[in-house]
Each structure stands twice: as structure tokens, then as C-alpha cells.
Amino acid sequence: MVFVMIDNLLEGNKKFRTTDFQKNLDFYQGLVASQKPKVLWLGCSDSRVNPERITHSCPGQIFIQRNIGNIVPAHDWNFATVLEYAIAHLKITDIVVCGHSGCGAMRALDAVTDDVYIPLWLNNAQEAKRRIDEGAKPATTDEEKKERYRRIEHENVKLQIEHIMTYPLVKKAVDVKKIQIHGLYYDLETGALSEIV
């Protein structure tokens, strides 16, 4: 096996340094001492949903945590640390939970597999699927199946916001209006990002 990907990445970095970085040297030097992002972005790891690219943001503007399915588990040390740092130290003003169309994690909620870790992780999103399927007639056509997943993707954003609110430091910051929480949804087909919560 020949590993060429790392060469591509290093070549890409050379291009970045000779174009973007050198041309905006003052901007990048200004980032050396500290970061002052105002937004915490909780999104999916999906390689097609790059938060900075789809929002036309610059380095230093968004504090980012991504994982499979844009999930926020309750009682999670990783998330508690991210939230504490973002709220208490960075003093962010907004938290975004961003779902997206065609999310493989939401499709995997239906899968029966031999995987060990993925189903355990996705248990944090099963409630979204349950809420959408409850009382609904089974989706049969491709259009109905696509619509069902879109509804689960939306519901999952709402569910993860509910999970965020179980962290006392978040609830307190929201109650005193120090931060706002937003649910966003990115459409791969149109490139549109919309506020759904």
C-alpha cells in the first residue's frame, strides 16, 4: 500500500502558507497570542460539513467540537470540559448544534450491525428516531424515506439541545441570558444553512 494522502496534506499546507497565510500575515500573527471565538459549534464529523467553510468564517471565530451525529451525551466529561471552557473562559455568546442532510449517523439508527462502539454512541440519539416514528405510518417510497430521515435529523438537533440544557453551567448561562442556543441544519444539496430551533 502506498500512502499518498499525507503528501497531499503537506503539499496543501505549502499552498496555504504561500497564498493565504503570507497574504494575511497580520491577521494570522494576531491569532498567535490568543483566541476570542464567540460561538461554540457542535457539529457532525461528516467531512462534507465543514463549519468554517459553510459559514464563510475565519480561523479564530468558531470554537468547534465535532463527532458522529452531532451528539451531546448527558454526563460526558469531554463535553462538560468543552462547555466549561467555552462558557467560563472563552465567554462565548452562542452555542450552535448543527445537523445536516444525508447524515450517516441518523441512518445508522436503523442498522443492525456487529459494531461495538457505534451503537452505544448512537443510543444518545435513538430518542429522536422514536419520537418521529411514534404513530407515523412506515415510510415506503424513496421520497418518504428521505423525508423520514430529514425529520429525524431535525429532531436529533432538538434532542441534543435538550441534552445540553442538562449541564447546569449551560442552563445557568441561558437563564441569565449570557448565551443563546441555536439549532441549525445544513442541506448538502443546496449548501443552505437554516435555523430550525
List of residues contacting Zn ion (CB under 5 A): 44, 46, 103, 105
Name the residue nearer to Zn ion (CB basis): 97 or 105.
105
Helix axes 142-164, 126-133, angle to 10 degrees: 130
Q: Which residues, at least 6 apart from 118, have a Cβ–Cβ distance to it below 8 Å?
A: 68, 108
Give 103 or 159: the residue with its C-beta nearer to Zn ion.
103
Contact (Cβ atoms closer than 8 angstroms) between residue 72 and residue 163: yes
Q: Where are the beta strands (DSSP E) in 68-176?
A: 94-100
Give the residue with the Cβ less far from Zn ion, 103 or 170: 103
Q: How far apart are CA 119 and CA 126, in angstroms?
A: 10
Closest approach, Cβ 68 to Zn ion, in A, equals 7
Q: Least separation, in Å, of the C-beta of 66 and Zn ion?
A: 9
Least CB distance to Zn ion at residue 145 (A) = 17
- Least CB distance from residue 43 to Zn ion, whole Å? 8
Measured from the CB atom, the residue of 39 and 101 that comes closer to Zn ion is: 101
Q: Which cell is 181 given? A: 442556543
Least distance between Zn ion and beta carbon 37 (Å) = 22
What is the rounded CA–CA span in Å between residue 179 and residue 84?
13
What single letter denotes the amino acid at residue 42? L
State residue 155 phi and psi, 5-degree precision: -65, -35
- Cβ nearer to Zn ion, comparing 46 with 155: 46
